[in-house]
Structure 1
């Protein structure tokens, strides 16, 4: 007979995973795979102790993995894109002109602005990081800017658009789950996101002053430009490929076919423009591009990409979702959320509790979408009963869920960033300024009552009627 799993058992499961994770990742400097497997094992034992059959526990894991399948497909395609675009000279061209045009002092601000514009246009942080972000890493590293700083600027800009674009899946998800008009949701998020964006630009501008003395005519940069000119055919026409992919996604072409067009374009460019062989072009897709110029900087920039480079990311995503699947479908996550809700007495503590729930879900279930889905179900009635408009909830879900996913190395977003930008969560976290500033601003607003919208009596009556109808449907009446 199944018994409801208490918050104590859920917390113990989570605690064992986190402690194992800290020892393995922080102290031993190893991959998060094993701690996640330990967490999955403990979660399975706890579920079994509470009456779940092994077949049911297996199905929980499979359900978790199924949730991540769209992300896994994108991860694989991004690996192919990077290999194809490096082989086709697209990345080299982007880096070359970036070094020619962008001042080191303003690089961090510029790359964040570019990522903000692109992600706002296409609604995808991952696609932005895989295109503009990859080139930005190369440009910034060539200027001597630390990788963690560059990644922080790229992430801040990419997630601004992911959060604010009407084309973003997380934006539509948060609005849809809470019954909020999409554009009301976006406008309400401006209160927390715009100040964080300005703060980020100011901080990156101050950081950039430390690189004002870097000369674009320094020997290292001139050598890098020269080696790239010798190793690749550099042409502004090659920039049509990333521009084309961005335009396709902006015109609501699904991400997968848009990325496939980018892959095929890069593949053909490597053969017909760069003069590579068919075998080399296929190898760039599978194992990544390979080049040996004798220049360590150039070799480090371009020896990467390919399907194989993403297999560690894919495996970690699968393992993470087995853990998240058991927590979600056994009721352990709900038990944790219920405890968090009990502490939400005021509007400020309710907003804080919502964001804490989103962060907890990102940490335990390792998937950005679940961090929006689960808390939305937990808090919808609470907001309504307290006379708070649903757009307060939808904003809190994105402030706490969409943005904080990057801070956990085992979350699908943290895993993707490591594979794409080559920087781990522990390194870039202090520089992902927008991502941690927005939740802080959101919680402050909750306590001081700024930009918190109350339901009118008419809206309250409508919400109660809709809630009653939903209850009847669930009861099968």
Structure 2
């Protein structure tokens, strides 16, 4: 690595170039050529690397930044691959078919969107994980919704809204604990303060899903098609309520604070067990399905589309996209370019009323650039405590802003680890589901509006403001203690 004296501070106009190249190439490749987002992210990473090299960073330093960022995403990559195992084994074991079967029989089509959103709220609130909720309940919900003739992006939006409600509000959630810890806010004070923005957002989302569901129920339903789907599934799988014990066991395991990866691997094994001993499939077929995905031909196009999927191979696109996105993020953060951009944004905050919107925009911007929701909480969470103390704002205002924007906007960025996970798990393009993930964009907007009008923005007594300011090193140490 070059001597630190040879490193030049990267100015704002140079720091912003990789982002501009990435966004412009993204528009060209995705919108005009209808391609994927890998190449635009690689272009942004190359431009970032060249700029860093011009300002004195050698290849070893740039490479270390890339590897450090990818290392941060490794837990997410392992979960993505494990969800591939879950999907294939639960399809082969008849678990997904059973959930869809009883869902079609019990849930009214006009209330399905509201019902699946509330169900995902309850499950994610209980276990504190949006990914586990979407990888289990969400997959089945997609099957039920599609069988009812509801558009996939709408169903995905309802599932995402419900899953991220619990991810944001559960005391078991890692992002909830991270946001409160990095800002030194009491966990339950943090959760109570989020109620004011999150509950109105959920109510708005449920109203939207109720209206959409009423329209779908009146115009798009075909009872004959649903009866045919039920018949085909009944012939292709052993349908039994006992199979529902598998998702219940996994939810209970996570609720008992069993780490997500062991719990999901247990779910994959139970699904494989059901495929062999309940469905009567050959051991060799069940093992191959874990890698290549489950395969079935029923003659019903919709049923075949629902159940021909899963496996590790089905997740490789998502894994590769995660690696590419984190490479771009690693260059931007490790060379200080992201901090330069955020510092420029920070200069816009001239009052307490503008500070909270700037914090939320910074968290969203970090989600875009760094493609990882944890960084969107950590980085602004390390940068803004002094500013919040300067304006005598309680730390829970900062922790709420970090979650309103950092946690909730992560699925709205197609190349964010959350966006790519959802695309591979629910099989819906993020650009398609974004308009229907109502909770995820209404809550940040509500938070900004409340900040501007001063509603539920809490101040400390100016005379009691401590002179000590949370430093970056202290924040990092505090965040590590959480894990």
TM-score norm. by structure 1 comes to 0.97
User: Please, which of 230, 233, 239 is the counterpart of residue 235 of structure 2?
Assistant: 230
28 and 470 in structure 1: CA distance in 2 versus 1, 3 angstrom threshold? closer
Identify the residue that residue 25 of structure 2 maps to in structure 1: 20
- 1:128 pairs with one of 133, 154, 171: 133
Instruction: State the 1:348 CA deviation.
Output: 2.3
Task: Please say if 1:11 is aligned against 2:11.
Answer: no
Instruction: Write the deviation string for residues 55-74 of structure 1: whole angstroms up to 9, x where unpaired.
Output: 11110100110110110011
Q: How does 1:147-162 map to 2 (within 5 A)?
A: 147-162=152-167
Partner of 1:336: 341
Secondary structure of the residue that 1:166 maps to in structure 2?
A: coil
Determine the C-alpha separation between the residues in 2 that align with 1:413 and 1:100.
32
* Cross-structure match for 1:393: 398
Task: Give the aligned partner of residue 79 of structure 1.
Answer: 84
For 1:459 and 1:254, locate their aligned partners in 2 and report how far apart those are by CA, in whole Å. Answer: 40
Q: What is the CA RMSD across the aligned residues, in angstroms?
A: 1.6
Equivalent residue runs for 1:15-164 within 5 Å: 15-164=20-169
Per mean C-alpha deviation after superposition, the further-off stretch among 345-354 and 162-171 is 345-354
Deviation for aligned residue 1:467: 4.6
Distance 2:291 2:415 in 1: 24
Match of 2:192 in 1: 187
Name 1:293's counterpart in structure 2. 298
Separation (CA, whole Å) in 2 of partners of 1:357 and 1:73: 28
1:273 equivalent to 2:284? Answer: no
For residue 213 of structure 1, report the CA deviation from its aligned partner. 2.9
Alignment of 1:287-366 (within 5 A): 287-366=292-371
> CA 1:296 to 1:447, structure 2 compared with 1: closer, same or farther past 3 Å?
same
Give the whole-Å Cα distance in 1 for the aligned partners of 2:113 and 2:335.
44
Q: 1:25-54: CA deviations, max 9, x gaps?
A: 122111111111111100000100000011
Unaligned runs of 5+ in 2: 1-5, 478-483
Q: Does 1:383 align with 2:388?
A: yes
Q: 1:470 and 1:67 mapped to 2: Cα distance? A: 18
Q: What secondary structure, in the 3-state scheme, does the structure 1 residue paired with 2:86 have?
A: helix
Cα displacement (A) at 1:468: 8.7
Distance 2:221 2:242 in 1: 24
Quote the Cα distance in structure 2 between the aligned partners of 1:109 and 1:192: 20
> Secondary structure in 2 aligned to 1:212?
helix
Match of 1:207 in 2: 212
What are the superposed Cα offsets for residues 99-147 of structure 1, whole Å, 9 maximum, x if unpaired?
0000010000000000000000000101100111100100000111000
Q: Which residue of 2 aligns with 1:433?
A: 438
* Contact 2:17 2:48 survives alignment (8 Å): no
| Structure-2 change in CA distance of 1:400 and 1:310 (3 Å) | same
Q: 1:376 to 1:469 in 2, by over 3 A?
A: closer
Q: 1:458 to 1:282 in 2, by over 3 A?
A: farther
Contact 1:5 1:331 in 2 (8 A): yes
Is the 8 Å Cα contact of residues 316 and 415 (structure 1) preserved in structure 2?
A: yes
Conserved 8 A contact 2:382-2:472: no
Tell me if 1:408 matches 2:378. Answer: no
CA distance in 2, matches of 1:339, 1:389: 24
Task: State the 1:469 CA deviation.
Answer: 12
Alpha-carbon distance between aligned partners in 1 of 2:33 and 2:164, rounded to the nearest angstrom: 30
Structure 1's unaligned 5+ residue stretches are none
CA shift, 1:465, in A, is 3.5
Residues 121 and 161, structure 1, Cα contact 8 Å, conserved in 2: yes
Change (3 A) 1:470 1:457: farther
Give the structure-2-normalised TM-score.
Answer: 0.95
d(CA) in 2 for partners of 1:221, 1:469: 57
